[in-house]
Structures are given as structure tokens and as C-alpha cells.
Amino acid sequence: MKPVIFGLSGHSLTSDERAFFQESVPVGYILFGRNIDNRQQLRALTDELRALHGDDRLLILIDQEGGRVSRMKPPHWLAFPPGGAFDRLYDVAPASAIEAARVNAEALALDLAEVGITVDCLPLLDVAIPGGTPAIGDRALGQEPMRVAALGRAVLDGLKRGGVLGTIKHMPGHGRAMVDSHMELPRVTASDAELEQDIAPFRALKNAEIGMTGHILFEAWDQERCATHSPWIVEQIIRQRIGFDGLLLSDDLDMKALAGEVPDRAARAIAAGCDVALNCWARMDEMVGIANALPDISEASRARLDRARAAIVPLADWSHQADLIAKRDALLALA
């Protein structure tokens, strides 16, 4: 098994993809809008992936946050609010905001579980900073670390109740970035003491099964390498100071914050201590290069993967989604 998650090119597997995935045996897959048409098609695609590996708990990921980051869209699926909606409610009624975030996440998870998706790349635990990049913006759960942690915990709980694992991201914190890491490498100049605010939500939720790094350079910790490629940050900050011992994914390796060829980016992420490299764009030459560049998954990473898989609880009943949505909307109306 190779420590990588791959994207897919279309609505179903091509013959080349099927043969390559059988040979390379990736940890899992991530889906985007290009892979999604309707419920029947999407369920058939995820069923095909599970059958390919003989694994009912295969990691099949998606970025379904709500708001502008939503791969599954109306009219086939519901629209969900962004994280900022729960931050605003927290100003008025903290307990109601936490409950609204939980029921919203459970309702969202039901949409995913019904079509065979097992992991959502949510919640963001990035503490928002005034003037930070709009790439985070209303996706954030707030500007105060313990508020972000409280709402993030509710999201993780709601997702799990809906049969889906969450992913805490972007460790050790994307909130101070002034530029979008999709387009260029952010450099954060805050001191080690100041960065305690950024890592606090991740420390509070350190027992999450899955986490994701951010492609951010923190000058206080490593002046040459971003978090994804920094052995010091992965070990000393994420594993030791935060205390996270779950399955650690890199953010997407195709983002312009990273330099070099994509297979080399993947190899550096694994060498730095990430458990799994994330490659989203389904370019066959890059995927083959990554498979050739990576070692087999390590024993430690395989143990973390097995713990995450064991936490996936398949659901058989989605009938209560309307009740969850009604409760969420009543709570959000308080703001």
C-alpha cells in the first residue's frame, strides 16, 4: 500500500485508472465536482472503489464544508452554511451555536454517507486574524481559539453521528496567512509565543482520527520549509506540542505554495513525517511518478490508518435529516 490519496478524472473509473489503482493500492481517494453528477452515479462510483479494494471502510474524501467550498451542490444535494454562520450565532448564544454546528454537520454527513463517502475535510480549526487571506474568510469558525475549538468539536461530533469522519485542518494553523497557499507560499512572522493561539484549537481536538497540514512557512519554527515539508514542525509542533497522533495528511500537493515536481513534493511530505500525501488532480503521469517515488506505508502510519478506519460507522438510515435541518435553521434564526 502506498501512502497517498489520489483524485479521479471523471464520473467513473477509466480502465487505466482501475489498473493503476489495483497495482499501486493507495490509502484512499478524494472526490471533486468533476466526479459528481447525481446520487445514483456517485454511489456507483464509490461502490466501484470499494469493490476494487475489497474494503467497506475505504477512505473516500471530499471537501464539503458548506458555503463556497461545496463539491456536492443543489439541486441534487442541500446547500449548507459556511463556518462563519456559527461564529455569528456564538456572539449571541454560545450553547445554541455549538448545537447548531453539531446538527448541521450531522445533516451534512448524511448526504455524504448516503453516497458512500467516509471522510469530510472539515472542520477548519484555523483561528481567523483580521486582514488574513480571503482564502479562509467566512470558512473560519472564529477569531478566538476556544470558540474555534468548541465549534470544531461540535462539527467532528456531528459528522461522526452521521457516519463520516472529520479532518482537522490546516495544522498548525492557516489563519495568519496573508496570501492564498493555492497561489503562493505564505510566510508567517509571528513569534513562537504568538503562535500558541494558532495551535490551541488543534491541541484541544488532538484526539481526532485525521488531520491535515497547511502549506505555510512559520519563520519562528523553520525558516526554509513550510509545515508540510518540515520534519521539525511535524514532529515538534504537530506530534509533540499539539499532541496529535492521528493520521496526518498533507494538503493538496498541486498547490502553488510548493515548489518542485509533484512526485518530489509527495516524497518530501512523507519524509517530513506526514502519513499520507494528498494528490487531487488525477493526472496519470503525476500519479505514476508519485507511486514510484514513495515507499510503502510505514508501520506507524498503517496503525494510524487502521485506527481511523475502525472509527467509521456505516449508517443505514438517513430519514432524520429534515429534522436536523429544521433544528439548525431555528437556532441560526436567533442571530
Residue 309 has a pLDDT of 97
- What the block records as the C-alpha cell of 216 is 505555510
Least confident range of 67-81, 163-177, 307-321: 307-321
**Residue 64 to residues 68, 124, 176, Cα–Cα distance (Å):** 9, 12, 23
C-alpha 53/C-alpha 305 separation (Å) is 15
Torsion of the alpha carbons at 147, 171, 245 and 95, rounded to the nearest 10: 10
> Contact 331/96 with Cβ under 8 angstroms?
yes
Q: What is the mean pLDDT of residues 299-306?
A: 98
Return the higher-pLDDT residue of 104 and 313: 104
With contact defined as beta carbons under 8 Å apart, do 151 and 203 qualify?
A: no
Q: Is the pLDDT of residue 180 over 80?
A: no
Q: Is the pLDDT of residue 262 over 80?
A: yes
Is the distance from CB of 213 to CB of 289 less than 8 angstroms? no
Q: Distances in Å between the alpha carbon of 75 and those of 39, 72, 78, 79, 110?
A: 11, 9, 7, 9, 16
* Distance separating alpha carbons of residues 202 and 216, to the nearest angstrom: 16
Residue 280 or residue 314, greater confidence: 280
Residue with cell 469530510: 120
Cis peptide, bond prior to residue 172, ω within 30 of zero:
yes
Reply yes or no on whether the pLDDT at 183 is more than 80.
no
Ramachandran region, residue 163 (left: φ > 0; alpha: ψ -120 to 50; beta: rest): left
Task: Please report the pLDDT score of residue 255 as a whole number.
Answer: 87
| Pairing of the two strands 26-31 and 2-7 | parallel
Place 91 in a pLDDT band, splitting at 50, 70 and 90.
very high
pLDDT of residue 131: 82
Rounded to the nearest integer, the mean pLDDT of the chain is 96
In the DSSP assignment, the letter for residue 8 is: -
Res 182: pLDDT: 85
Residue 285 has pLDDT above 90, yes or no: yes
- The beta strand positions in 1-127, using DSSP E, are 2-7, 26-31, 59-62, 64-66, 69-70, 119-120
> Which pLDDT score, from 0 to 100, does residue 177 have?
85
Q: Give the model's pLDDT for residue 257.
A: 82
Query: For a pLDDT cut of 90, what percent of the chain falls above it?
Result: 91
What does the pLDDT read at residue 9? 97
What's the pLDDT score for residue 74? 96
- For residue range 134-167, what is the model confidence (pLDDT) as tens digits? 888 899 999 999 999 999 999 999 999 999 999 9
The answer to whether 182 is a known catalytic residue is yes
Which residue in the list 157, 182, 254, 264 is annotated as catalytic?
A: 182
CA distances from 100 to 128, 155, 172, 203 (A): 20, 9, 26, 23
Fold of 2-332: TIM Barrel (3.20.20)
pLDDT at 93: 97
- What is the pLDDT at residue 135? 81
Residue 261 — pLDDT band, cuts 50, 70, 90? very high
Beta bridge partners of 64: 70
What's the distance, Cα to Cα, between the start and end of the chain in Å? Answer: 48
pLDDT, tens digit (0-9, with 9 covering 90-100), for 12-63: 999 999 999 999 999 999 999 999 999 999 999 999 999 999 999 999 999 9
CA 120, CA 163: separation in Å to the nearest integer? 10
Q: Please give the grid coordinates belonging to residue 223.
A: 525558516
- The confidence score (pLDDT) of residue 305 equals 98
Question: Residue 173 — very low, low, confident or very high, per pLDDT cuts 50/70/90?
Answer: very high
Distance separating alpha carbons of residues 267 and 277, to the nearest angstrom: 8
Active-site residue, from 111, 120, 126, 251: 251
What is d(CA 58, CA 233) in angstroms, rounded to the nearest whole number?
29
Under a CB-based contact definition with an 8 Å cutoff, are residues 237 and 214 in contact? no
174 is catalytic: no
